[in-house]
Amino acid sequence: MLETPGKTQSGSAPSGLRTLLTRQHTPPPARKRSFVTAFDVAKLGFFLFGFPRNAFGSIDVTKDCNLRCSHCYFFEGSEGAAPAYEATPQLAVEAWIEKLEHLKATTSRVDFPFFQCTWVGGEPLMRRQLIEQGRRFFKYNTVVTNGTIPLPDWPDVSWYISIDGDEAIHEEIRRKKGIYAKAIKNVADHPALSVTIAYCITRANAHCLEQAVIDWAAAGARHMTFDFYTPIGDMCDGDDSLFLPLAERDVVLDRLLELKRIYGDFFVLPERAFRLMKSDISRQVTDNCLFSTKAFAFGPDGVQKEKCMMGPKADCDRCGCVVPFYLASLTDRRRIAQDLGQEFVRAARSAANGVVTAVLD
Ligand code: SF4
Ligand code: SF4
């Protein structure tokens, strides 16, 4: 049984999960948020009218990184340079700014709305000047970093720190000691920044995700999100040992749904996104991937990548990237309507229970 100090658990975990859900969980206090944000209004627009092309996308800031994680799609598991860009120079910062200015001057806001950009890499903070100068073009900016370089105090940015397990597993996969504590300190040193922890679930770290949830909630991270490792072509000579087969993924998703009931908005993904990742439906999402059809993804050379941020070799049938599932969760009208109906029933039941209790009192 899942134990939640100071909180009554509504509903218990399926019996097979009980042995996995054994840790003490204390959710972080809920944070105040504005009633309706500009992003909420945009989400309503996506729900009603679908995604405009290029509203979301990514820019690979650099082809360098100070780590070499064993599962990295960018370095394809190699110790050396990123194979796709080994022979290609990365675009200079000034050339990037010119490119963005040209794009802005020559495209309509319908074709390229400059709404959101995720700055990735490589390790984007190894070339922070590009983000410093380039983020002004977009309304929303996200930077995905490995957390080992001090975060600049940019309050307008959504920070994502990528994590691969609890301390021991994270440092084993990332092949460097001390970086888990360093990333925790980085978050604790910047309480005013909005930091989301992005945990990439693999066969090597599915068992310890609860410890990471506890660690990062205590460290003061604003949110946490989860992806599953996506196999990349013939990476590691076809060794897919990090890939979690879909049936095992389903079990982990059930655990995440249980944890979501405790952690609420600390888990930034809606329950619907977790459900869309389940094996009975995931292919419907990835076969119609909104990331691939609607988003931009520029490599460090400034050239549009196929098919998505992970490049042409990513295995769509086994994709665990959260983006297509999150985007589908915002636009799947039937499921959104079902969820709203269920919320309404829950609220009505709870209100009716309140009335009965008041009468009996
Ligand atoms: S920190 Fe990120 S970019 Fe660098 S090797 Fe690891 S996964 Fe790749
Ligand atoms: S790998 Fe995933 S995110 Fe990339 S195009 Fe395929 S389904 Fe979309």
Decide if 351 is inside a domain: no
Number of domains the chain is built from? 1
Helical spans, DSSP H, in the chain: 15-18, 38-49, 93-106, 128-134, 167-173, 179-188, 209-219, 235-238, 246-263, 271-276, 282-287, 290-294, 322-331, 333-360
Average pLDDT over residues 333-352: 70
Find the helix or strand (DSSP H, E) in which 352 lies.
helix 333-360
Decide if 21 is inside a domain: no
Distance 356 CA to ligand 1 centre (A): 55
DSSP 8-state symbol, 158:
E
As a whole number of angstroms, the distance between CA 109 and CA 137 comes to: 12
Decide if 220 is inside a domain: yes
pLDDT at 43: 75
Helical spans, DSSP H, in 107-245: 128-134, 167-173, 179-188, 209-219, 235-238
Decide if 80 is inside a domain: yes
Closest ligand 2 atom to Cα of 319: 2
pLDDT at 4: 37
Decide if 133 is inside a domain: yes
Percentage of the chain modeled with pLDDT above 90: 67
Decide if 32 is inside a domain: no
As a whole number of angstroms, the distance between CA 260 and CA 129 comes to: 37
| Residues 163, 197 contacting (CB under 8 angstroms) | yes
Q: Measure the CA dihedral 336/338/340/344, to 10°.
A: 180
pLDDT at 19: 45
CA-proximal residue: ligand 1, atom 7 (nearest):
72
CATH of residue 202: 3.20.20
Average pLDDT over residues 343-354: 68
Average pLDDT over residues 135-141: 97
As a whole number of angstroms, the distance between CA 287 and CA 328 comes to: 12
Decide if 168 is inside a domain: yes
Ligand 1 binding pocket includes 123 (Cβ within 6 Å): yes
User: pLDDT digit string (tens) for 232-252?
Assistant: 886 555 568 899 999 999 999
What backbone torsions phi and psi does residue 100 show, to the nearest 5 degrees?
Answer: -65, -40
What backbone torsions phi and psi does residue 253 show, to the nearest 5 degrees?
Answer: -65, -35
Ligand 2 binding pocket includes 144 (Cβ within 6 Å): no
User: pLDDT digit string (tens) for 16-48?
Assistant: 444 455 667 887 777 776 667 777 777 778 778
Domain that includes residue 187, residue range: 37-334
Helix (H, G, I), strand (E, B) or coil at 298: strand
Residue 345 tokens, joined? 């029933």
Decide if 58 is inside a domain: yes
Ligand 2 binding pocket includes 68 (Cβ within 6 Å): no
Find all residues with CB under 8 Å of 115, minimum gap 6, and list them: 42, 52, 55, 56, 138, 139, 140
pLDDT band at 230 (very low <50, low <70, confident <90, very high): very high
Find the range with the poorest average confidence among 33-37, 153-157, 168-172, 307-311.
33-37
pLDDT at 270: 92
CA-proximal residue: ligand 1, atom 8 (nearest):
72
Percentage of the chain modeled with pLDDT above 70: 85
